[in-house]
Structure 1
Amino acid sequence: MKKIFVGLMLVLGMIGCTSSKVGKTESLAGKQYVLVQQGKDYQITLNFAEDNLFGFSGVNHYFGKYQLDGNKLVVGSAGSTMMAGPQEAMTAEQNFLSQLGKAKTYEVTETGLIITTEAGEKLEFKLVEAPKPAQK
């Protein structure tokens, strides 16, 4: 009886360990990404914190909230600074923020992140080292 109980506990323990990994996705918090498709005179970045995202969109800094559910990504309305810049960068910034607001799914790859919009457009990012907070 004791052997059966121990064997049953081992089997349940193994099932519990393997099933706890099913459906979990890699956390994006603490990571910084750079948009791959961008102009030579500006760099678009995307950073993640616990439930906030922020970055530089070519001319302005932006910020907002996000939620993950499996491979689904929901981006809340974003705010940004209101600086003006070169027309090419302003157009790229508007396009990027519009696409980011329509995010539907995400996929973490070996080298970065791919966000797919409701219309099937893909935003491809390269993972870079996140900036360290300033120390006093």
Structure 2
Amino acid sequence: MKKLLILGIAALALTACTDTKVPFLSSKSNNTNSSSSSSSTGIFANLKEQLNGREFIIVTEGYNSKTSIGFKGDRVYGFSGINRYFGTYQISGGKFIFGEFGLTTLPGTQEAMTQELKFLDILKNNKSIKLSGDTLTLISTEGIELNFKDPKAAVTQSK
């Protein structure tokens, strides 16, 4: 009963308004590291250019098969299992630095909502990212690896 009450409160917090700011998913996005070398800045700028305009679908087991992450300019968006999320991002020190996420407000089962919150938390707490061809890999600070594929790149390669 306690778990259901806690999940209900979490669901209420997520569904309170359309343009929800989720405090536990916020990161300090004004964090800049002026001591970064220009070569590492160039690598990450290139990565941001490679991500721009692309959307990746998760291939890691245990997640809704439509879970995604997409990039357009400084914006990030996607589907987190039940809801759509959106916000801003930067790449710094080989990882994503996200601003606050906004979420749509659709309800779901307890299991699906728990999985969605876990996914969003892993995004926020990433320690490294890697783009290799049509595969985007994100590793959390806990060592959890999320793998995403760009379905458009796979279609282009097979033609």
TM-score by length of 1: 0.69
Do residues 71 (structure 1) and 130 (structure 2) align?
no
Q: Answer yes or no: is 1:31 the counterpart of 2:54.
A: yes
User: Which one has the bigger strand percentage?
Assistant: 1
- For structure 2, the residue ranges without an aligned partner over 5 or more in a row are 1-37, 154-159
- CA–CA distance in structure 2, aligned partners of residues 87 and 38 of structure 1: 19
Deviation at 1:102, TM superposition (A): 0.8
- Cα RMSD of the aligned pairs, angstroms, is 2.7
Select the residue among 132, 136, 148 that pairs with 1:125: 148
Corresponding residue for residue 61 of structure 1: 84
1:82 alignment partner AA: T
Higher relative contact order (CA 8 A, sep 6+): 2
Cα shift at 1:82: 1.6
1:30-62 deviation digits (Å, cap 9, x = unpaired)? 011011125586520111011110011111010
Q: Which residue of 2 aligns with 1:9?
A: none
Residue 73 of structure 1: CA displacement?
1.8
- Percent identity reads 37
Write the distance in 2 (CA, Å) between the matches of 1:73 and 1:43: 21
- Asked if structure 2 preserves the Cα contact closer than 8 Å seen for 1:75 and 1:103, the reply is no
Q: Secondary structure at the match of 1:43?
A: coil
Does the residue aligned with 1:129 lie in a helix, a strand or coil?
A: helix
- The aligned counterpart of 2:127 is 104
User: Is the alpha carbon distance of 1:67 and 1:85 closer, same or farther for their aligned partners in structure 2, counting shifts above 3 Å?
Assistant: same
More helix by share: 2
Distance 2:134 2:67 in 1: 17
Count the aligned residue pairs: 112
1:95 maps to amino acid: K
- Structure with higher Rg: it is 1
**Local SS of the residue matching 1:88:** helix
